[in-house]
Structure 1
Amino acid sequence: MASVSYSEELTCSVCLTIFTDPVNLPCGHSFCRQCISEVLATQQHCPVCGTAVALEAANLPTSIVLKSLAEKAKAKPDKGKQPTAELAAVCPEHEEKLKLFCITDQQLVCIICRDDEEHEGHQFKPVKEAAASLRKQLEMFEQCTADDIHAVESLADAQKDEMFKTRERSQQLLTRISKQFEEMHQFLKRRENEIKRELKHKEEDNVDKMRETFQATAVALSESRELKEKVSSVLKITESESFLKSWTEGKRKGALKHLFRPRVNELQVVDSSLSLGPYESHLQFFMWKEMLQVIQPRAELLRLKSNSQDVVVSDDGRSLFCRPKTHQAFGTGFGMQHDSFFGAPPSHSFGTATYYSSNPSGTKATEDLESASSVSEFGAGQHYWEIEVGSRNYWELGVIHNLLKYDGVKYTCCGPNVTTELEFRNRPKKIGVYFNFSSKELSFYDADTMTHIHSVSAVFVTTPVSAQINIQHKQPDHSPVTVCWY
């Protein structure tokens, strides 16, 4: 134990090594001259007790005793290390070996510490046993950490792959967009050239007819002027016999009447008949209609089927309207299994059965709902259709469990356990519905302006999927909902 105290007394509290040129401050604490010089350069007090120091470090006398002891300690390095090692395993308070580990406080203690009031009721283990237990825990933690690192690395790799896929997908879409726009540009350019050529041909045909008339007028004008000059020349002859002879010589009988016929009656200005018909005023509309024949894919040409006895589908399968009820109607709200979706004439909003499934008490509107769905079903890919909703005061459009609803007052988008009220500046007349099977995203659009209305995640939709329409029964029904065909 003496060696431990001996080593402590020879240690500078600033550099924590054995003294080099030790000096004593007036307060009694000792330091290396270099160490205390650096301290006193920034503060004029002892770094241990805080006592003010007026002297400079250079004026402090060297402690001969400490210097001698320090030199002896440095001269025996092998023995000098032993107290340091022992110091690490000795209780600083009781100078006993640290043979126990306090599990409660998570610290090394000696036997005397174990019996102190400070550790009363604590759990203890021998150092080796505690070290073995901790080592086992750390080894397990190391393995868990390694597994976690591997899992996180896998996530990072997966995220990197998704980033690459996103960039690759974006590039594919850019290429597809460029190709589709190029096809439209080529179509429009080809039609532009064709219409321009047609216009040029009509221009040439009209000008040719006008040129013929113009040449005829030039000939008639020349002949009339020549005749006028001849008549003027004959009129200057005063002698009657010479006058008559000059005029009648070489002229056949009856030629005089033909000669003096009004030439203007034989001529007529050819008016411009240049016209391109509807291309003059409705060029863009006609081009749009023509482009529909070459655009792929187009809106789905849905045909409807009735799911209720009180609704009728038109012969072409496009329109849905109500007929007089023959029995008590029952609700087909969002909780019902509606298979399809269809369009309607000019209208305003979207309805959803889910909205009413959350209202089990029901309303008059839900009690009078009639249902229809598309004959065709979709199991993959991307699909778009348009419904003209007309002047109906209630309708629901979409797919099973995900509907856009209009109740005459507000628009609501409904899905399983989710209802979102929507606001519109204008009342949509046609509703476009887009469903992407890969992303399970259902989107609604104002089909007249192609303005996005709302999108929902249709993750609960199962395949196959059909378009669905719910309408409120009305009689007479003069405004059927209609699937738009292009």
Structure 2
Amino acid sequence: MEDSISKDLTCSICLTIFTDPVSLLCGHSFCRECITNSLSIKDQCPQCRTTVPKEEKYLPTSHILKSLAEKAKEAEKIKTKQRDETTGVSFIYLFIDVMSVSESLCPEHEEKLKLFCETDRQLACVICRDGEKHDGHKFKPIREAATSLRRELEKGMEHLSDEIHAIESLANMQREEITKTHVMSQQLMTQISTQFEEMHQFLRQREEEIKNELKEKEREAVEEMTEKFKAMDLALSESRELQVKGTAALEISDSVKFLQSWTEVNNMLTPECLFRPRANDLQVARTSLSLGPYESHLQFFVWKEMLQVVKPRAELLSLRGKNTDVTVSDDLRSLLCTPKKFSFSRENDIYHTLNYSFKTSSFGSGQARSSFEFGSMDASKPSGFGSTHAPQTFGGHFLKYDGQKYVISNQSSVTELTFTDRPRKIGIYLNCSSKELSFYDADKMKHVHTLSSSLMSLPVSAYFNIGHSEDIDRNPLTVCWY
């Protein structure tokens, strides 16, 4: 009977019990992989030779056959296991039958294993319990220990399915993030190549324009020099010809012949006219080829030109505020503390700060970059540089400059930033999507520090606080426009 069932569940192609069985319209069943490979060679059923239409090649799984095949495979495994046991093959099982264990003997004392040591988590006999090895250990009868362990396993199994599902979800999410990272990296690679190509194209075009300008200046200069050279060459030829004629005439001793020879050749021209100095009328055209500032500072000027076509450009922020103790320049780029009334108290510090907050345009998406110049401030004058979000909503963090050092400050701590050279200009870069604010040395484009806050709500504006000291200087905070 079992052999008949196994035969019905056997694939006629691979001659083994079905794996993921599917059925054709003709009624014959095969393993999915077997029939797929067969149909890719010939569109016929391997058993009855019935033609299989192309639209039938997508075959759903036969769940009834799949269930029966799995049971047949399990039965085959049990038969194999029983056959191995009769030949003395040893197996390790996850769960131990309590009745069979109770009849097992301790390998050390050859006593029945009737106890379970909870301390060592192993089976034991009565002699083991009383021995030094298990001194002070806690024991339970085997049946009681098995019941307790089974209860714990059943309780754990109840939540294991949910745990597996949760981990699978996390794994899928992580897999998606890995894919996103690869895609984003490729997009950024393309973006980098595109932007560098734009710069290369600008530089190549500008190089060609400057070279053409040089060639045009060369052409004009050479054309002028050529005209001068032709005039010199003509004068030289005429002078040499005159020299030959004069020498020949002077060799004639007869006065009549001498006069006739000279007047026939030179007609009415007198010697004074013929021998007038001609070199004085000629002048060498000197080389005046020059590219102006491009000749000595080409890279600098082209870099400044390229800033005008760079996209996206730095945000042209404008400072705005209503406090009468602070002066904003007419172009809205510079900020200077000019208090009209101010009383000092030196109880706690050599100076005290009046904080004037000024904000700029708002940003709600994408990225934004700007730079600010602090000038050569007096060491006694404190000056703070706020984040592009109000400090109280950006986790209480902000960048501060007190005339001597830069610090990252919040309500509970102050972290001093160290530099080889103190930055004169600070650049800020805001990434709205990641809610990160980065500070840079704007002259060297070196990263200074990055702040991040998940509490930041968009849109945000840049806020700046300037300080005041008794010894007021006149160096404003200035927005750098490129």
Would you say same fold, with TM above 0.5? yes
Listed as ranges, the gaps of 5+ residues in structure 1 are 1-73, 75-82, 111-117, 331-360
Matches within 5 A, 1:39-438: 87-88=103-104, 134-249=149-264, 251-253=266-268, 255-306=270-321, 308-326=323-341, 363=349, 365=351, 367-392=352-377, 393=379, 394-399=382-387, 400-401=390-391, 402-415=397-410, 417-438=412-433
Q: Which residue of 1 aligns with 2:59?
A: none
Tell me the SS of whatever aligns to 1:164.
Answer: helix
- Retained in 2: the 8 A contact 1:312–1:322? yes
Aligned partners of 1:429 and 1:105: how far apart in 2? 69
Shift of residue 231, structure 1, vs aligned partner: 1.1
Return closer, same or farther for 1:105/1:442 CA change in 2, 3 Å cut-off: closer
Residues 141-150 or 175-184, more deviating? 141-150
- Retained in 2: the 8 A contact 1:305–1:372? no
Tell me the SS of whatever aligns to 1:213.
Answer: helix
Q: Which residue of 1 aligns with 2:434?
A: 439
Aligned partners of 1:97 and 1:201: how far apart in 2? 107
Tell me the SS of whatever aligns to 1:281.
Answer: helix
Tell me the SS of whatever aligns to 2:386.
Answer: strand
Aligned partners of 1:165 and 1:406: how far apart in 2? 39
- Retained in 1: the 8 A contact 2:103–2:112? no
Return closer, same or farther for 1:119/1:287 CA change in 2, 3 Å cut-off: closer
Shift of residue 185, structure 1, vs aligned partner: 0.3
Shift of residue 295, structure 1, vs aligned partner: 0.6
Shift of residue 306, structure 1, vs aligned partner: 2.5
Listed as ranges, the gaps of 5+ residues in structure 2 are 1-85, 87-98, 126-133, 392-396
Aligned partners of 2:147 and 2:334: how far apart in 1? 81
Candidates 442, 460, 463, aligned match of 1:468: 463
Tell me the alpha carbon deviations over residues 96-129 of structure 1, each in whole angstroms, 9 at most, x when there is no partner. 996x99999999999xxxxxxx999x9989x878
Matches within 5 A, 1:449-464: 449-464=444-459
Shift of residue 417, structure 1, vs aligned partner: 4.2
Aligned partners of 1:102 and 1:224: how far apart in 2? 131
- Retained in 1: the 8 A contact 2:429–2:437? yes
Aligned partners of 2:427 and 2:277: how far apart in 1? 69
Return closer, same or farther for 1:423/1:327 CA change in 2, 3 Å cut-off: closer
Aligned partners of 2:457 and 2:430: how far apart in 1? 13
Shift of residue 328, structure 1, vs aligned partner: 5.6
Shift of residue 413, structure 1, vs aligned partner: 1.6
Return closer, same or farther for 1:307/1:424 CA change in 2, 3 Å cut-off: farther
User: Which protein has the larger Cα radius of gyration, Structure 1 or Structure 2?
Assistant: 1
Aligned partners of 1:119 and 1:396: how far apart in 2? 70
Return closer, same or farther for 1:244/1:476 CA change in 2, 3 Å cut-off: farther
Tell me the SS of whatever aligns to 2:177.
Answer: helix
RMSD: 3.9
Tell me the alpha carbon deviations over residues 313-352 of structure 1, each in whole angstroms, 9 at most, x when there is no partner. 101100001224235699xxxxxxxxxxxxxxxxxxxxxx
Tell me the SS of whatever aligns to 1:147.
Answer: helix
Identity value in percent: 51
1:483 equivalenced with 2:479 (yes/no):
yes
Return closer, same or farther for 1:206/1:421 CA change in 2, 3 Å cut-off: same
Return closer, same or farther for 1:89/1:253 CA change in 2, 3 Å cut-off: closer
Aligned partners of 1:208 and 1:143: how far apart in 2? 98
Shift of residue 411, structure 1, vs aligned partner: 2.1
Shift of residue 480, structure 1, vs aligned partner: 0.9
Residues 415-424 or 386-395, more deviating? 415-424
| TM-score for the superposition, normalised by structure 1 | 0.66
Return closer, same or farther for 1:169/1:398 CA change in 2, 3 Å cut-off: farther
Question: Which structure has the higher relative contact order (CA within 8 Å, separation 6+)?
Answer: 1
Aligned partners of 2:211 and 2:117: how far apart in 1? 98
Return closer, same or farther for 1:418/1:254 CA change in 2, 3 Å cut-off: same
* Count of aligned pairs between the two proteins: 369
Shift of residue 380, structure 1, vs aligned partner: 1.7
